[in-house]
C-alpha cells in the first residue's frame, strides 16, 4: 500500500476509503482536455476500473492541454493512447478503452457496467444522452464544461433528483446554438477536470460536501468562484 500511503494518511480516505476506490468502476466519456486530468488523477488515486470512451485521434492542436498524449502519438486513437499512459502510471488498475462514440445504441450497455459517469465531452447532445441514461439506470453523473478561461462542474442524480436538464432544460434550443468558441488555455481543463476527479473520489469514498444539485463555476482570469443551487 506504499503507493497510496500519503492519501491514506488522511482520515477521510484511510484504508477503508482506499478499498472503496479499488472496488469502484468509473466511466470517463471523452479523454481530451477535461478527460486527461480526470483520468490521470483517478488512476493515480487507485480507482480500480476506469472505462474510456472516445472515437477521436490525437492532433497537434490538442497537445497544449491534453496532457495524456505526446507528439509521437499524433494521429493515433486517443482511447488507446490514454490506456497505455494510465497503465504505465498504475499497473494495478484495469483500463477499458473503447475507441467509439457514445451513442443511443451503446450508451446503456456501456454506462450500465460502471458506478459513476464522468463528463469529459465537448457537446450538448452527448451530455443529454449521458444524463438521461444515468437517470434511467440510477448512476451519478459528474458534469464538467469549459470555455476560454471559465469552467464549471456539477453532480447530477446523486442524492438529488436534479439532472442536467435542470441546468439546461430546453434541449432543442441548446442543440440549435452555434458551437462555443474553441479558444482555451490548458489550465482551464486542468483545473476543471481536477475538480471533477475530486467530486468523483468524494462520491466513491463518501466524505465531504458533494456538488449534488449545485453548479460550481470559476473564472481563471481573476480566480473568482461561485456555487449556485439548481
State pLDDT tens for residues 114-161. 999 999 999 999 999 999 999 999 999 999 999 999 999 999 999 999
Domain tally, the chain: 1
In this prediction, residue 181 carries a pLDDT of: 84
State pLDDT tens for residues 43-62. 999 999 999 999 999 999 99
CA pair distance 154, 200, nearest whole angstrom: 11
In this prediction, residue 170 carries a pLDDT of: 92
* CATH number for the domain harbouring residue 93: 3.40.50.720
Q: Which residues contact 133 (CB under 8 A, 6 or more apart)?
A: 107, 108, 111, 139
- Is the pTM of the predicted complex or chain greater than 0.85? yes
In this prediction, residue 65 carries a pLDDT of: 97
State pLDDT tens for residues 166-189. 999 999 999 898 888 889 999 999
In this prediction, residue 178 carries a pLDDT of: 85
In this prediction, residue 219 carries a pLDDT of: 98
**pLDDT reading at 203 higher than 90:** yes
**pLDDT reading at 208 higher than 90:** yes
In this prediction, residue 1 carries a pLDDT of: 79
Mean pLDDT of 5-25: 98
Cell of 135: 437517470
In this prediction, residue 200 carries a pLDDT of: 98
**pLDDT reading at 226 higher than 90:** yes
Give the domain range for residue 82.
2-229
50, 203 contact by CB (below 8 A): no
- For the chain, what is the mean pLDDT? 97
Determine phi and psi for 216, rounding to 5 degrees. Answer: -95, 135
In this prediction, residue 153 carries a pLDDT of: 98
Amino acid at each position: 500500500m506504499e503507493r497510496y500511503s500519503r492519501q491514506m494518511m488522511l482520515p477521510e480516505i484511510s484504508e477503508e476509503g482506499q478499498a472503496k476506490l479499488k472496488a469502484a468502476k468509473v466511466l470517463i466519456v471523452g479523454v481530451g482536455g477535461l478527460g486527461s486530468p480526470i483520468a490521470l488523477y483517478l488512476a493515480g488515486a487507485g480507482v480500480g476500473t476506469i472505462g474510456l470512451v472516445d472515437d477521436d485521434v490525437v492532433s497537434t492542436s490538442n497537445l497544449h492541454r491534453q496532457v495524456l498524449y505526446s507528439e509521437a502519438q499524433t494521429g493515433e486513437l486517443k482511447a488507446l493512447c490514454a490506456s497505455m499512459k494510465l497503465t504505465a502510471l498504475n499497473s494495478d488498475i484495469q483500463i477499458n478503452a473503447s475507441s467509439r462514440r457514445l451513442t443511443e445504441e451503446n450508451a446503456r450497455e456501456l454506462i450500465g457496467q460502471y458506478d459513476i459517469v464522468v463528463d469529459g465531452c465537448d457537446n450538448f447532445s452527448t451530455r443529454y444522452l449521458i444524463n438521461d441514461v444515468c437517470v434511467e439506470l440510477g448512476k451519478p453523473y459528474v458534469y464538467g464544461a469549459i470555455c476560454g478561461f471559465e469552467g464549471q462542474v456539477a453532480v447530477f442524480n446523486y442524492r438529488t433528483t436534479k439532472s442536467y436538464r435542470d441546468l439546461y432544460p430546453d434541449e432543442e434550443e441548446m442543440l440549435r446554438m452555434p458551437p462555443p468558441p474553441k479558444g482555451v488555455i490548458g489550465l482551464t481543463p486542468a483545473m476543471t477536470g481536477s475538480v471533477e476527479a475530486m467530486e468523483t473520489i468524494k462520491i466513491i469514498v463518501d466524505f465531504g460536501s458533494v456538488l449534488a444539485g449545485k453548479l460550481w463555476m470559476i473564472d481563471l482570469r481573476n480566480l473568482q468562484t461561485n456555487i449556485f443551487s439548481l
